């Protein structure tokens, strides 16, 4: 993955005018090849971006603000590097647009072109800010388990099923997910929800595996696909969903989910207290 020309990790002046060329796409296939994901994809899903610093000018020059929720389908060929996304969104701060619909149409067009597929944007107007909810991930937490941790880079060999436990359907969560930016090495803090139907996972082993990402350098989307792939390889569940919610940086948070085809995705409208 060549990020030499990406703005991430470099000093970049904030743009004074609208510039869709600021968006920096990264091919998904490069990372997927490294974890054995080919075509057709073994999952469906999306990357949910929440943008808290959206603004533009109305025709008379008065600023407008909104919260934006972007949905980038997992089958688009490219992800968007996060700092370039931030710079692009700020390039619209002085753009005069007729209304919120015009803003939404322009941004959807530009981001879809960069991702290589249809990206949806929903705007939350200031009058609706009060309806934004704080909700933690549903499921049973793993974090109270008393486990010894020795691995801090991804260790899929830790994953195992409980012998003789039979098939179960359950939802497990952890707030102990942490990885690092592959360019700046800054920490990416997250929570993860794992829903599955299949052989019962050893919970202590699963928690140790989640923590093993602590010194790993990889983008959010890639981490979720790695977790999905490792869980499928370890215990072969008939149904699996992996959903991570990462804390925001630069006014953006990224929340990828991947699920086996035919299984619905998680509820993604609310954010957690840490977000």
Q: Catalytic residue among 47, 110, 175, 181, which?
A: 181
Does the annotation flag 80 for ligand binding? yes
Does the annotation flag 112 for ligand binding? no
Does the annotation flag 28 for ligand binding? no
pLDDT tens for the chain, 275 residues long, are: 555 555 555 556 778 899 999 999 999 999 999 999 999 999 999 999 999 999 999 999 999 999 999 999 999 999 999 999 999 999 999 999 999 999 999 999 999 999 999 999 999 999 999 999 999 999 999 999 999 999 999 999 999 999 999 899 999 999 999 999 998 899 999 999 999 999 999 999 999 999 999 999 999 999 999 999 999 999 999 999 999 999 999 999 999 999 999 999 998 888 999 99
Q: What three-state secondary structure class fits 61?
A: coil
Domains assigned to the chain: 25-131 (3.30.1130.10), 140-259 (3.30.1130.10)
Residue 26 CA to residue 60 CA, distance in Å, equals 37
Q: Which long-range contacts (CB under 8 A, 24 or more apart) does 149-154 make?
A: 149/208, 149/211, 149/212, 151/208, 151/211, 151/212, 152/211, 152/212, 152/214, 152/215, 152/216, 153/212, 153/213, 153/215, 153/216, 154/209, 154/212, 154/213, 154/216, 154/226, 154/230
Tokens of residue 189, six digits = 């803090």
Does the annotation flag 81 for ligand binding? yes
Please tell me the pTM assigned to this model. Answer: 0.94
- Catalytic (active site) residue 235: no
Q: What three-state secondary structure class fits 153?
A: coil
What is the separation, in whole angstroms, between the first and last Cα of the chain?
28
Does the annotation flag 220 for ligand binding? yes
List the Cα angle 81/209/239 in 5-degree steps.
Answer: 80
73: β partners: 46
Does the annotation flag 212 for ligand binding? no
Residue 247 CA to residue 272 CA, distance in Å, equals 9
Predicted pLDDT at 183: 84
Q: Catalytic residue among 110, 175, 188, 202, which?
A: 188
Residue 31 CA to residue 221 CA, distance in Å, equals 10
- Catalytic (active site) residue 181: yes
Does the annotation flag 250 for ligand binding? yes
Does the annotation flag 82 for ligand binding? yes
Looking only at the bridges linking them, the beta strands covering 44-57 and 252-259 are antiparallel
User: Rounded to the nearest 5°, which phi and psi values hold at 231?
Assistant: -65, -40
């Amino acid at each position: 993955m060549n990020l030499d020309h990406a703005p991430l990790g470099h000093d970049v002046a904030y743009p004074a005018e609208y510039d869709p060329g600021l968006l920096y796409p990264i091919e998904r296939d490069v990372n997927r090849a490294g974890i054995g994901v080919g075509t057709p994809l073994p999952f469906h899903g999306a990357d949910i971006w929440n943008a808290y610093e959206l603004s533009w000018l109305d025709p008379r020059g008065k600023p407008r603000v909104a919260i934006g929720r972007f949905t980038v389908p997992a089958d688009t060929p490219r992800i968007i590097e996060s700092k370039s996304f931030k710079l692009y969104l700020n390039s619209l701060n002085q753009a005069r647009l007729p209304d919120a619909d015009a803003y939404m149409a322009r941004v959807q067009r530009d981001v879809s072109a960069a991702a290589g597929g249809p990206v949806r944007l929903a705007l939350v107007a200031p009058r609706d800010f009060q309806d934004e909810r704080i909700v933690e991930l549903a499921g049973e937490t793993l974090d109270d388990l008393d486990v010894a941790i020795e691995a801090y880079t991804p260790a899929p060999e830790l994953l195992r099923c409980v012998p003789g436990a039979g098939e179960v359907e359950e939802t497990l969560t952890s707030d102990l997910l942490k990885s690092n930016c592959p360019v700046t090495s800054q920490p990416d803090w997250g929570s993860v929800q794992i829903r599955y139907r299949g052989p019962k996972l050893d919970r202590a082993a699963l928690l140790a595996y989640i923590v093993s990402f602590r010194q790993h350098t990889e983008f959010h989307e890639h981490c979720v696909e790695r977790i999905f792939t490792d869980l499928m390889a370890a215990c072969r569940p008939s149904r699996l969903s992996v959903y991570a919610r990462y804390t925001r940086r630069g006014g953006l948070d990224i929340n990828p989910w991947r699920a086996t085809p035919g299984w619905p995705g998680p509820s993604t409208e609310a954010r957690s207290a840490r977000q």
